[in-house]
Structure 1
């Protein structure tokens, strides 16, 4: 392979033709032997070579670069370099993972233009195992669940892979399939340190900072992503920033605030109906929730989620099913309020009618839950439907936000008739309502707006999604109204206007959305928000979080490789331990920490100590905290009377509240492993949902189950806990 540098480009000389095979529409298509594809030259600028450097040296790394900077071209260069530098040990096989089905075909088409290799794209709809094809192709473009399924069947399949690239790698956390794949990678590595594992490369425009509130927490968050991907290096553009800025288009961003309806009778009537349903629910003995003051908003969605959880564990089946009927109507009405707020009242009325029609043919002599549904249906039919239909047709209640949006779109397309625009909104229902509105607005009909949402069997198949994108590129459709599915990765080269219609999520989405308009000249990103709403504030916070993320990455890059490796190793041990604890909790039927309804707080100052799910018992007598973060909440002092209580159980320190210095318990070691041991009389036990709290004198009186610390758990956390508490353990304890 020869490299030639000219005009800030590094050119790779490739063959002009290549045999190519592909997998499409659920089957392999055999190609004629004489079929050839003319390849384009793969050219990298200096800043792109800088991004590729660590990966081309065989290092596990995360490549972080702005959208529109050519990360996919960097990835192709990395893949080609990897495949052509054979070491003779085994045949090179590359897995390129993308988070959505739509990206598989897009990336496959691009790779086939540049790479002289056999390339295969597989999604879940193909119903084909990657293991069947591993000897046939060089590069596989897949959704991660495909690989996870293959590794579940045979974890040794990992040994046949030599490079795994994770596109949009910021997803490699929690329960995402990316993290499931990497969990299997870590399991293999932990069981065999000499295992021949593939190189790992992550690609993203923004790793994010999660729930970090300061720079230190942001550093830890980024390091956690590195730990999940086993990536010691983070590659960003530092030397060639001037060139990056020169060749990366930055869309103009602005925020437009608009008024709401002066009066909204739809909102008032639906709110009144919901309040009546809530009264019945909250009087039920099996429901323990506070009432809410605001509906048609995200906090109410969260309240409904808590309600659904409580309903799901109601023992009496008739009561549970009746409660579920109330819940379904509340959820539907809340969705209708959100549609009415963003769109037209007639769209909200249509949504309700579509929902209630499934109850219209229920028999009069029916199950108890159906009688509830029929009662709620009757309220809609005889009390609400007719007056709301009149309101929907009354122009006095038109939505000012839609008028603002219509004016903006009309002016833009008058100036730039061949423009492409994407409008992002919060829910699938809103996308449908907005498309219907554009088709009925004379000024917008010609745009032929289409919906773009996530692939599923009922709303939008992959074929429909592909067709929408093709129509958009060709100009047959000039406006797409989408949910967040279009924020990541999808290439809309001609898009020069992105509108976020009261839709702001996190700092990652802010960076990703910027990329949807970054490829076209004179592009704009506009946030439309209701005057006085928190949407504008959230966007301002996201901008600050993005700056904090960049500072965290700079800090991590300035560490030496050994320092990064050491920090990441500690995090990986912690992750392994927490996974072990969660697996034990599942075996015992105990809720995980995230779902745990109880928390333990200091009796004196109410400082948070631990979740109930973080507690374990030793020998049915001692109650230890297994959450490593507890060390940040406590002060450990030498015990005035250190003592070996048994040959395996020794106390050596006192544990105090870090905030008020209240006595919480002792530090002790069990079989050489240090733990904080708490005395429950020093705490209040609080229910997270109801906020009810109690101070109990003995652990046997707490309202939650406590799991025992097993030998398996102890083995998993021995090394980690010794490192965590090394600064407070006396030498004689170890």
Structure 2
């Protein structure tokens, strides 16, 4: 290499191999473009290395790298040799000049040859420019920016390209260069299908070849787009051997990639005819990946694309809004499917999917596999099939924390393993493995409880409790003066249900008002007054009857008096609560550069209200910190987000359009955003699993976690207990190791024996919605819960997927509901007028009436008192499927 070339190489980026652009210096004294460094940090957030010497970068905050000073020798070289860059054609790093046609840099030897490529489009006269009205409408915006000659040239050039694309089966094209000679040029195929990789010619290998190979070799054998970490290969060992296993690793350690390694291995082996898939209708390997929420379907499918780099679009299929009837066709077209657990359970229930036709089931967040969770319901079906001699799929379960379920942590671990049919646990050992994991992942530096002093008195709280709630309660004979929030909530729920059963109209009305006021107090304890009072006004409107009773009028008068008092207080500018001040203070303190922040809250209303409050805050506006909110699925009236909206919000958060996300527990599990550098739980404490999982959402280097709560509050105590239970969970893993593999298997098998005995004794459980056939649990009549008005017979209920629909002509005549989809259906009693459900459109746009069970009461058999249910899954009456 001559001296000039050596000088040129000094200011060539080691990553993109082009001229340095906004160069930064690494600790190893190598130089890289700023954008290239940002890409490296984003794509390799735990093991980023210098592209030249492979030295770990260490610092993952792009803002901590400084630009070179003007007097630095690299800066001076760049300012001196302004015409040096990579040639677009030969890729040599030398002196170049931009092409006059396309502005691409070309060296002296490539320049003439490159100019000839621009002559390949035939210089035909601008004729046949007649366009249809539709084409003219599409092109009108372009026409306004071009002259007449430029517009004609544009049309002709576009037509030439289209004509050649249509005639791409020709081997050559002919054009006339400026010198007049005819030249034939071999044409590159346009829009050709990607080459299909021939797995029959791929190297044959076994699970031992994977386990005993280095990461680079595993990447080559499995054709991965990433180098697996050594511990990931070890954790995949039972899965590669075809054994059911639970992978128990901290968040951010790459559990999804472990499952992907196993799935890819089994997929390749089936293509090479080394193993025979268990599915009887196809010779291809079939798998399903189950996630807890819809927003994670696309995320986990995207992760699997890094393992399935050959034709991923024909192998991987996220199941989002697809109807069950279509799945049989999708099953034949694709190999690995990504479902929410609930949707897959619905498909199994509706006979659209068959568990025996899958070779592998991957269960994310498997710690939910107990009691009546959909995962456990699916596993009960798995166990029944296994008992009956059917071939069942292999299970790989993923979790960061198995939980305790208010029991001994080790006993719960045994119970979950028995439910999942997993005798193998894959967990990191002490010493070398622990160090390897620590060096490969980002763990929050701290998880701090920030206690805020409780406010001693508030005139709004005092006015509502003393002047309104006590007055209504005394009319009903209730003494609520000594009840705390938890006792009052329980008391009102019980009294409301009793009032509904006895059809005590005044008690129903009074309890409804008291429940709304109580809910307002809970919201106001954490949130801005303006948002809370708006919620209360809307809630009281819903309770307003067309023909109110005397007691209803009394409650309304007391409510109006309170609302007037609040209006006066707002006009006097109420001070922002200390908790809210602390939240804003922490966001400003923690939010730097291009980072992301996550605020976890208890309810959907908390999420929506805080988003509004934070986006209006002047200090956050100045710093251009914009918030979005994420809640679970459901109706818009319940402040829920449909699946497509969830995906949009998460996409904005990942891209940085919204740097702050206020979310309910829907974001507590599984959400993976590399730039998330702080997590604040705002008066939100769930169980010990939630404590661990929320910490795992902080994925960036040097990240931090906080809990903002009142000093000595119930949440403060819960969090303290959760941290003790977290230690119990760690001790459970230690106890598993101490007992040894064989003894632990014996314990799991004993637990399974009891499980299977219970399944065989009780037989098939009732379906999730509706019994399999008419039974004594079917309601004779169904009434409005609030006023006892008869609505319909139990036999008129129909099952549309997971939605309960009333198709009784008598109900339609009685209620006289609207016909437009989404409109509310209300009780026909004018003194009640409460919402019963909504209109939905069935086949051929026929209206159906989706009823909400919280507005109904059921008279079953000869029982004198009605039954009340919180969820439709609790009602076991027969409902004929539509």
- Superposition TM-score, scaled by structure 1 size: 0.68
1:222, distance to aligned residue in structure 2 (A):
1.1
Does 2:572 align with 1:417? no
1:231 Cα deviation (Å)? 0.8
Find 2:532's aligned residue among 341, 345, 348.
Answer: 348
In structure 1, distance between residues paired with 2:756 and 2:481? 39
Whole-angstrom distance in 2 between the partners of 1:292 and 1:568: 51
Distance 1:218 1:490 in 2: 25
- Structure 1 residues 15 and 76, CA gap change in structure 2 (3 angstroms): closer
Larger Rg: 2
1:488 counterpart (669, 672, 677): 669
Correspondence for 1:140 among 325, 337, 342 = 337
1:479: Cα distance to partner?
1.0
Distance 1:60 1:155, change over 3 A: farther
The 2-side partners of 1:13 and 1:279 are apart by 76
For structure 1, which segment, 152-161 or 466-475, has the greater mean C-alpha deviation from structure 2 after superposition? 152-161
Alignment of 1:308-707 (within 5 A): 308-311=496-499, 314=501, 316-317=502-503, 319=504, 322-360=506-544, 362-364=545-547, 372-381=551-560, 383-395=561-573, 397-413=575-591, 416-445=592-621, 446-458=624-636, 459-517=640-698, 519-576=699-756
- Tell me which of 204, 208, 214 is aligned to 2:399: 204
**Which of structures 1 and 2 has the larger relative contact order (alpha carbons within 8 angstroms, sep 6+)?**
1
Closer/same/farther in 2, CA of residues 538 and 43 from structure 1, 3 Å limit: same
**Structure 1 residue 225 displacement after superposition:** 0.7
* Aligned counterparts of 2:730 and 2:611: Cα–Cα separation in 1: 37
| TM score, norm. by length of structure 2 | 0.57
Q: Is 1:420–1:478's contact at 8 Å kept on the other side of the alignment?
A: yes
In the TM superposition, what is the alpha-carbon distance from 1:306 to its structure 2 partner? 3.7
Equivalent residue, structure 1, for 2:266 = 82
What is the rounded CA distance, in whole Å, between the counterparts of 1:377 and 1:342 in structure 2?
26
Contact 1:344-1:392 at 8 Å conserved across structures:
no
Runs of 5+ consecutive residues of structure 1 not aligned to the other structure: 17-39, 284-289, 591-734
Q: Among residues 250, 263, 276, which one is paired with 2:457 in the alignment? A: 263
Is this contact kept in 1: 2:401–2:692, CA < 8 A?
Answer: yes
Bigger mean CA deviation after superposition, 491-500 or 391-400: 391-400
Alpha carbons of 1:15 and 1:56: their partners in 2 closer, same or farther (altered >3 Å)? closer
CA shift, 1:62, in A, is 0.7
Matches within 5 A, 1:716-731: none
- What is the aligned partner in structure 1 of residue 220 from structure 2? 13
- Write the deviation string for residues 225-251 of structure 1: whole angstroms up to 9, x where unpaired: 111111111110116111011112121
Q: Secondary structure of the equivalent of 1:253? A: strand
Tell me how far apart the structure 2 counterparts of residues 223 and 493 of structure 1 sit (CA, whole Å).
33
Q: Say which SS state the counterpart of residue 705 (structure 2) adopts.
A: strand
CA distance in 2, matches of 1:576, 1:372: 56
SS at match of 2:227: strand
Matched, 1:188 2:377: no
Q: What is the SS of the residue equivalent to 1:13?
A: helix
Note closer, same or farther for the CA distance 1:399–1:457 as it changes in structure 2 (3 Å cut). Answer: same
* Partners of 1:93 and 1:501 in 2: CA distance: 42
Alpha-carbon distance in 1 for matches of 2:709, 2:233: 40
Give the Å deviation of 1:440.
2.2
Counterpart of 2:860?
Answer: none
Label 1:424 to 1:394 Cα distance change in 2 as closer, same or farther (>3 A): farther
SS in 1 for 2:723: helix
Structure 2 gaps, min length 5:
1-202, 279-283, 779-882
Displacement of 1:531 after TM fit?
1.9
8 A contact 2:653–2:659 mirrored in 1: yes
Contact 2:360 2:393 in 1 (8 A): yes
Q: Deviations over 1:473-492 (max 9, x none)?
A: 12111111111100010112
**Residue deviations 1:183-217, cap 9 Å, x none?**
1111112233xx211011110111101102xxxx2
The separation in 2 between residues aligned to 1:268 and 1:377, in whole angstroms, is: 19
Could you tell me which residue of structure 1 aligns to residue 482 of structure 2?
293
Alpha-carbon distance, 1:513 to partner: 0.6
Greater mean deviation of Cα atoms: 155-164 or 475-484: 155-164
CA gap of 1:353–1:250, structure 2 versus 1, over 3 A, is same
Q: What's the secondary structure of 1:209's corresponding residue? A: coil
Query: After the TM superposition, which of the residue ranges 224-233 and 121-130 deviates more from structure 2?
Result: 121-130
Cα distance, 1:392 vs. partner? 3.2
Pair 1:139–1:308, CA change in 2 (3 A)? farther
Matched with 1:600 is none
Q: Report matched runs for 1:85-164 at 5 Å.
A: 85-86=269-270, 87-88=275-276, 90=278, 91-115=284-308, 116=310, 117=312, 118-123=315-320, 129-154=326-351, 157-164=354-361
Q: Deviations over 1:351-381 (max 9, x none)?
A: 1112122345x333x5x5xx65444223211
